[in-house]
A and B are shown apart, each in its own frame.
Chain A
Amino acid sequence: MKKTMTFAAALLAASVLGGVASAKTLVYCSEASPANFDPGTTTGGNDFDASSRTVYSRLVEFKHGGTEVEPGLADKWEISDDGLVYTFHLHPGVKFQTTDYFKPTRDLNADDVVFSFDRQFNKENPWNGDKYLPNLTWDYYTGMDMPKYVAKWEKVDDLTVKLTLTEPNAPMLANLGMDFASIVSKEYADQLQKDGKMADFSTKPIGTGPFQFVDYQLDSVIRYAANPDYFKGKEKIDDLVFAITPDATARIQKVLAGECDVAPYPNPADIGTIKANKDVTLMDQAGLNIGYMSYNTTIPPLDKPEVRHALNQAIDREALIKSLFQDAGATPAENLIPPTMWSWNKDVKTDAYNPDEAKKVLEAAGLKEIQLWASDRVRPYNPNFQRAAELIQADWAKVGVKAEIVNYEWTKYRAEGKKKDRPGAFQIGWTGDNGDPDNFFATLFACSAIGVSNYSSWCDKDFEDLIQKAKKTSDQAERTKLYEQAQVIFAKQAPAFLLAHSQVYAVVRNNVSGFKMDPLGIHRFDGVDKAE
C-alpha cells in the first residue's frame, strides 16, 4: 500500500514538474554535498550555500557582494547607549514557506526569533540535544563566543525582540548576519515534535528565504523553487538546482558544456581554458583571508620594529606570491584585512622589497640567526608553507640572516606556535567568519589573544585601545575611523610579515546576470537572473 502511495505521489510530482517546462531554471554546480539543511548545526560553506543562503533569512543580512550589514527580517533596530541592549523590529507579514510538508498558519513573529537562538544554547530546549539529532555541537554558536556575550533573548511583542548582552560588543550585529543565526520556524518545530519527526527539521527545511526546498537526492541533486511569498519579492528565476559536482575539472567542463550556469572553485590549471572561452566569464575576488608570518615581538632583537621592518624588506614578496599561488594568483596584502572588507585603509602600504636597506639595519641590530616555522598543511591563504619557508630563507640569506626551518605536523604546529615564548617567525593565516574587522584585528592581535591566536605575542597599547574602542562602539562610521587608524599603527609596528589574500574564483555563463562574488565566501542566488 505504502509503495503504491509513493509511486502515485511520485508520478504526480513528475507530471506536475514536467508541465512547467517554460520555467526559468538556474543550475549551480556545487562543490560538495551539504551535511544537512539546518545551518545551526553545520559549518561548511557548501552547507550554508544549500541552506541558510537559499532557504533562510536572518534578522540582518550582509550587503550582496559586501561585508556591510543591512536590514533583513528586522526592518530596523536600536542599540542602547551603553551598547548592551539591542531592540529589533521585525518586518510585518513575513510568511514562512508553504510546501507539501508544512503549511504555516501564522506569520513570522518574535517567538521564532527567540526559538532560533534558544535552541542553540539552552540545554532545556528539546531541540538542543539528542532528541533532535545525535551529537549536536552547535559549532558556530560557541565558536563565535555567543554564550559569553548573550545574556538573554526576549519577546517584547509579536514584532519586537530584545537582545541583552553581558558587555558591549559591536561585532554582534555582524554575528547575527551569519549563517548559524538563520531564523527558523517555531511553528514547524512544534508540529514536528508533536508528530515525533524531529529529525525532519534538518532534512526538510522551512524558512523565510528567497527559495524553498523541493527535493534532495543524496549526494546528487538539490532542487529549490522560488518562494512566491518571499518578503523582498519573488525571485526572477523559478527553479534553482544544485548539481553536486565534487571534481573541479568536471565542474568547469559542465559550465563550458552549458550543463550548469554557475560553478565555484575552478582548478588553477583550468583558468587559461576558462578565460579563452567566450560563453563564460571568470569572476574573481580577494578572499576573506590573510596569510602572514608572525614575529615574536617580545624576544630581542625582534622586539624592535625596525628589525621586523628590515626582515619584511628583505623578502621579495612578489616573487614569493607568484611561486606559491602560481596561476591561481593572490592579492598582495597591504593590511591585515582584505580590500573587500569595510574600513580597509587604502593609504596604508606594507614594506617594499629593499634588501640593501634591510641588510644595513639587520647588521646593525646583530641579527644573524632566526627560526622560521613551517607546517605540512595546505591552507587557502598559503598553499605551501614549506616552499614559502625555503624562499624566505633564501631571501634572508642574501641579507646575512641564517634561517633555520622548524617543522611540525599541523595540530602540533599550532599548539607550539601560539606559545607566548615561541621564538622566531611563524607562518600562519586566517579565514574570516562574519566580515567584521574585529574578527581579524581582535582575534589575531588583541593583547588578550596572546597565547591563544596572537602568534606575535604583540600587545601595543595604542592599537589595543583603538580596537577595544571599536568593539564597543556601535556607530559604523566611527568604527571605520578607528580601524583605519589601527591599520596605520599595525603597518608602523609591523608585528608580522603580511603575505597575501588568496584569490577566489567562480565561473559564470554569460547569459546569467546579477551573480556577485561574495567576500564572505558564500554563493547567493537572490537577485540572479538568466536570459534564455
Chain B
Amino acid sequence: MRTGRRNFGAAPFNSTMLRYLLNKIALLIPTLVGITICAFAFVRLLPGDPILAMAGEHGVAPARYEELKQQFGFDLPIWEQYARYVGEVATGDFGVSISSKRPVLEEFKTLFPATLELSFFAMIFAMVLGIPAGIFAAVKRGSWFDQSLMGTALVGYSMPIFWWGLLLIIFFSGYLGWTPVNGRIDLQYFFKPITGFMTIDTLIYGKWAAFRSVLRHLVLPTIVLGTIPLAVIARQTRSAMLEVLSEDYVRTARAKGLSSARVIGVHALRNALIPVVTTIGLQVSTLLAGAILTETIFSWPGIGRWMVESISKRDYVVVQSGLLLIALIVMAVNLIVDVLYAVINPRIRAA
C-alpha cells in the first residue's frame, strides 16, 4: 500500500507520460469531427432559417427567398455546405456572423473573458465551500450536520438555475437592496477593456470604487452559477473522504498518535482530492451549460447568452463555429485535467 505523500511529488515527464498524452490527444480527433457534425446539423434541424428569422413578421416573398438562399449558399447540397464549413474551420476561418456581420472569432474573444471570469469565481466559490463542507460531513458521518448538508446538496444540485437566479435577485436586490440587480459593473464606470476581465481591468486602472462595484456585481451570479458545482463537489469530497478514512494508512497515522487534524488534513485529504480534481474538471462543462441561463438573467455579456441569441436568430455560422470553439475549450480543460490526474496519480500513468 502506497502512502499518500509520495503521490503528490512532481512526476518526471517520461516517455510513458508522453505516450499517455499522445493517446489522449489522438482520441480527441474523432470527438472533434463528431462535434462539427452535431453543431452543423442541430441548428439546421430547427424549423426556420436565418433568412426567415431576419425577415421577421413581414415574411419574405418566395422569389426573393430563393434569391437569398442562393446568396447565402443554402441552395447547395447539405454535404457540400458541410464540406465548406469544415474546410474553412480547418484553415482557422470561423466565419462571419449572419446577423451582426462581425467575425465569429472576434465576438468570441470579446465575450469569452466575461464567461471565464464568472466561471472562475463560481468555481472558487464551489471549491472553497464545497471541499470543507464535504470533509466535515465525512468526518461527522451520520450526524445531523452530515444529513442536512447532503440534503441541501441534493436540493442545490436539482435547483433550476433560472428560478434560483430570479429568486435571489428579487430578494437580495429588490427587497433588501444589498446587491445590484445585474450587469458587470455600475454604469457610471466607463473604460476601455484591456484584458476583458473586469476585476483585473479595474485594478490596472487603479479604480478601487470600480473594483468594489465589480465584486458586488459578481456576488449573485457567482452563487447561482456555483450552486450546482458546489453540490457536486461537496458530495464528491464527502464520499472520497469516507473511502480514504477507512484506509489502513489512516489508521496507522492515527495509531502513531498524530493529531486528528493532521491525519485528516494531510494524510487523508491529499488522497481524497484525486477524484475531486477530476470532478472539478468535469464541472467545467456544467459551468458553461449553466452560463447560458445565468448570463441571460444577469445580463452578463458572455458566450452562453451569445449562443442562445444566435440560436434564436438561426445564425448558423455563429452557432456552428461558436459551439466548436466552446467544445475545444472544454476538451482542452479535460485534457489538462487528465494530465494533472496522471501527474498526481502514478497508477493512471502506468496503466
Contact = CB atoms under 8 A, between A and B. Distances in A.
Given A36-B100, A245-B299, A219 B182 contact: no
B261 to A, nearest CB: 44
B142 interface: no
A217 interface: yes
A172 interface: no
Given A6-B194, A137-B71, A250 B60 contact: no
A250 B191 CA distance: 25
Contact of B192 (A9, A27, A220): A9
B101 A6 contact: no
Question: Which of A17, A217, A223, A431 has most chain B Cβ within 10 Å?
Answer: A217
A512 to B, nearest CB: 16
A105 interface: no
A312 interface: no
Given A13-B190, A409-B47, A433 B58 contact: yes
Contact of A44 (B56, B180, B302): B56
Given A11-B205, A410-B47, A36 B101 contact: yes
B44 to A, nearest CB: 14
Contacts of A247: 166, 182, 296-297, 299
Contact of B309 (A32, A220, A430): A32
A139 B54 contact: yes
Interface string A108-148: 00000000000000000000000001111101001100000
A373 to B, nearest CB: 17
A137 B54 contact: yes
Nearest to A145: B61
B299 A246 contact: yes
Interface residues of B, number: 55
B191 A10 contact: yes
A250 B71 contact: no
A414 B194 contact: no
A257 B181 contact: yes
Contacts of B296: 246-247
Interface string A177-213: 0000000000000000000000100110000000000
Given A134-B101, A245-B299, A247-B297, A218 B107 contact: yes
Interface string B48-79: 10011011111111001000100110000000
Question: Which of A21, A33, A250, A254 has most chain B Cβ within 10 Å?
Answer: A250
A370 to B, nearest CB: 26
A164 interface: no
Contacts of B110: 218
Given A43-B56, A244-B299, A256-B174, A250 B190 contact: no
B170 A10 contact: no
A241 interface: yes
Contact of A143 (B55, B192, B298, B305): B55
Contacts of A243: 183, 187, 299
B178 to A, nearest CB: 11
Nearest to A27: B187
B169 interface: yes
Question: Which of B98, B99, B110, B194 has most chain A Cβ within 10 Å?
Answer: B99
A35 interface: yes
Nearest to A45: B56
Given A139-B55, A217-B193, A249 B166 contact: yes
Interface string A362-386: 0000000000000000001000000
Contacts of A409: 47
Name A's interface SS. Answer: mixed
B71 A135 contact: yes
A6 B301 contact: no
B306 interface: yes
A249 B174 CA distance: 11
Contacts of B52: 411
A242 to B, nearest CB: 10
Given A7-B194, A135-B71, A33 B309 contact: yes
Given A13-B190, A250-B169, A35 B99 contact: yes
B191 to A, nearest CB: 4
Contacts of A21: 188
Nearest to B55: A139
Contact of A137 (B48, B51, B96): B51
A218 B98 CA distance: 16
Interface string B276-318: 0000000000000000000011110110011001000000000
Contacts of A433: 58
B299 A431 contact: no
Contacts of A203: 102
B177 interface: yes
A253 interface: yes
17 contacts: A10-B192, A13-B192, A14-B205, A21-B188, A27-B187, A35-B101, A44-B56, A218-B111, A219-B302, A219-B306, A223-B190, A244-B299, A247-B299, A253-B169, A256-B174, A411-B47, A411-B52
Smallest CB-CB A-B distances: 8 pairs: A10-B192, A219-B301, A220-B301, A133-B101, A14-B191, A431-B57, A254-B181, A245-B299
Given A35-B101, A142-B64, 11 more contacts: A6-B194, A13-B191, A14-B192, A21-B188, A143-B58, A221-B183, A245-B299, A249-B170, A253-B173, A430-B57, A433-B58
